[in-house]
Amino acid sequence: REVKAALIRMERRQYVYTDKDTGEVLIRTRIRNDDLAKQPNQFLSALRLLAVVDSRKFAAVMAAELDLMVTPDVRGETPQARVLRENLKVESVNARTHLRELAEGFTEPFPEPFQEDFTGGLPEGFMEPFTRPGKTEPSPEGFPEAFRDGSVYGSVSGSLQTVGGHLGGTRASAPDTAGTQPHGPRNEPPNKSSDQEPPHRCAKHRQLPADAEIPDCGPCANFRQAHERWTVRDRRRRAEAAAESARAAAALKAQAIANCELCDRDGYRIGTTVVCDHQDRAAAIARGQELVRKALTKPDTKETDHA
C-alpha cells in the first residue's frame, strides 16, 4: 500500500507513470539530456523500442518526449553511414506513427492508478520530500551498432537509457523485474515473501472465465511471460529449499554418528549390520534392572510398623 501511494505521488510530479493494465512502471527522465543525439546507434535502438510500446499511457508520455528530441546527424558517405541515416528516418516515422495512433484520445490528466485502494485519500507522505533528479549521465562509449528489429517484445517501461542491452524500466506487479544481464531478465529466485505469484492476464481480462477466448492482447502476453518466469523461479526456489533441507539432515546425521560410541563411521552398530539409533539401550536396561532390584529388596514398612 505504501508503494502504491508513493507511485501515485511520483506520478503527480511526473517522475513515474504506472499502467495497471500492463503491470508496468515508466520511469520518466528527460531523454534529451541523455546525449542520444550524439549516439545515433543508441537512438535507433530507442526508436525501435518505442515502435512496440503497447501501453496507451506510456505512448502519450513518450510521444511528448520524442517531440523534444532531435534526430542525430549522421555524416559521411560510407555504406554504413548511408544505411544508418536511412534507418533513422524509417524508424523515426514508425515510432512517431505508432505512438501517435496508440495515444490518440489519451490525454493528460491521465487517470491515476490504484484509486480503489485510496478512496479516503492518500496517507501522509514521506518525511523528506523528493529532490528533482539531476541530469542523467550519458553512456561514455555509446554502442557500435543498434539493436536489431524484433529484439524487444511488449511494452517499453523506463527512460530511453540502455541497461545491459535493453532499453526499459521495471514492472509494477511482476517480481521478475528485468535485470542487468545482456540476454534478458535475471531469473535469480528472490525471497518468496517478496516474489508473489503474478496474474496470468491483464486487469481488463482478469475477471473472465479461465476458458474464455481472449483476442490478441499485448498486456496479457506480458503477464503470461511474467508468470512463466515466476514459475521457473518458484520451481528453483522449491528445489533449493529441498536441497538445503537434505544438507541440514545429512549434517545432523554426521554429527550424531561422530558423537556416538556405539556405531562405526558408517552409522552401523559396531560388529553388526543394524543401523544405529545412537541410543545406549544396554545402559538403560541396566538402570531399569537396578531399579527393579531395589524395589524387590526394599523392606515392607507396614510389617515393620506392626511388629
Residue 88 has a pLDDT of 92
Other residues' Cβ atoms within 10 Å of the Cβ of residue 206: 12
Residue 69 is predicted with a pLDDT of: 81
Q: How many CB atoms are located within 10 Å of the residue 299 CB? A: 7
Q: Look up residue 5 and give its three cell numbers.
A: 501511494
Q: Is 198 exposed, middle or buried (0-12, 13-18, 19+ CB in 10 A)?
A: buried
Residues of the chain with pLDDT under 70: 29-34, 115-116, 119-194, 298-307
pLDDT at 155: 38
Q: Burial code of 17-49, b = ≥16 C-beta within 10 A, e = fewer? A: bbbbbbbbbbbbbebeebbbeebbbbbbbbbbb
Contact 25, 17 (CB under 8 A): yes
Contact at 8 Å (CB) between 29 and 136? yes
Q: What is the pLDDT of residue 303?
A: 53
Domain boundaries, the chain: 2-113+141-179, 217-259, 261-307
Write down the pLDDT at residue 193.
Answer: 53
Are 22 and 219 a contacting pair, CB within 8 Å? yes
Provide the pLDDT for residue 188.
Answer: 44
What is the C-alpha separation between 175 and 58, in angstroms, rounded?
Answer: 20
